[in-house]
Amino acid sequence: MLLLGLTGSIATGKSTVSAILTSPPHSLPLIDADLLARQAVEPGTKAYHQIITYFGPSTPDLLLRLPPPPPAAKPQDEKHSDDKPAPKGRPLNRAALGRRVFGDTEAKKRDRAVLNRIIHPAVRRAMFKALLYCYVRGCWAVVLDVPLLFESGWDRLCASVVVVAVRDPELQIRRLLERDRAQGGGMTPQEATERVRSQWDVRLKAERCLGRNGAGVLPGFLAGKGGEEEARGLVIWNDGDKAELRREVGLVMDKVRRKSPRWWSWVCLLVPPVGFAAASWQLVRNLLDGWAWERRRKMEKAKL
């Protein structure tokens, strides 16, 4: 089964690309890390209580206020009002939590790291369960939609990685503000800038992704052919309209299918030793690619 890692940055169009990949003619199953993260912090979960314990005392608006019951509500429904909490607790105010952890200050970076340590283990468990389900079903490929694909190390398990990026940072901020207004939010330009800067620069992610193709990164036979024909690292530049984006997604999937045809997935599924050997080699190569890229980045910084 081909693991296709999909990542990007906020407001670069990653969600639009995932919607295209899950629709005909591609119709790929999707494992959405953002959706799993929201489910992981629903009222009553372990992560929910950990977040309230750490952030609650210093974040007064951490929990959403529930609307009062309608006048004709039954007496037992009154427990859902603000005076009497819901059985499992009031939902988290994601906007308030975002203001708490997104930013460049040391305090916000520390709080963001704490939040990640709470959420990531639960999301990893849910993702492995979903992957096992897709494998048992005999899926040719599955899309791993993970915003922090490189940061969390999930790229090491992926045969191919696609980064959705924009060349202009201002376009990214403008799209974020437009999306927030469409959802009825009140995000300021400063808050939008902080959210964008709190993540890896998407252009750096694109560079890291293309480094998976081996051209000029790994020595000798490990380097492979090099270039995007390797289909291990592909970038979709989403600076145009949706029609252009759909065409770019089609071109990317053509490259992925040529590199990993459906018959090869069935061989790996039906002959477990072959699948295990292929997966092991893929993991080793991804680790070597990542190590070589990090070393090159350090050498470039040392020259500055």
Number of domains in the chain: 2
Residue 229 pLDDT level (bands cut at 50, 70, 90): low
Q: Choose the final residue of a domain: 83, 112, 138.
A: 138
What Rg do the C-alpha atoms of the chain give, in angstroms?
22
Q: For residue 35, tell me if it sits in a domain.
A: no
- CATH code for the domain in which residue 243 is found: 3.40.50.300
Domain shared by 8 and 148, yes or no: yes
Q: Choose the final residue of a domain: 138, 170, 188.
A: 138
Domain shared by 161 and 283, yes or no: yes
**Which pLDDT score is estimated for 216?**
41
Domain shared by 22 and 81, yes or no: no
* pLDDT at residue 238 is higher than 70: yes
Q: For residue 215, tell me if it sits in a domain.
A: yes
* pLDDT at residue 81 is higher than 60: no
For 50, 111, 303, the CA distances from 117, given in Å and listed in that order, are: 10, 10, 34
Q: Choose the final residue of a domain: 113, 138, 163.
A: 138
Residue-wise pLDDT for 240-292, tens only, equals: 889 999 999 999 999 999 988 888 888 888 888 988 898 898 889 888 888 88
Range of 283's domain? 1-29+139-304
Among candidates 23, 22, 4, 107, which has minimal Cα distance to 58?
107
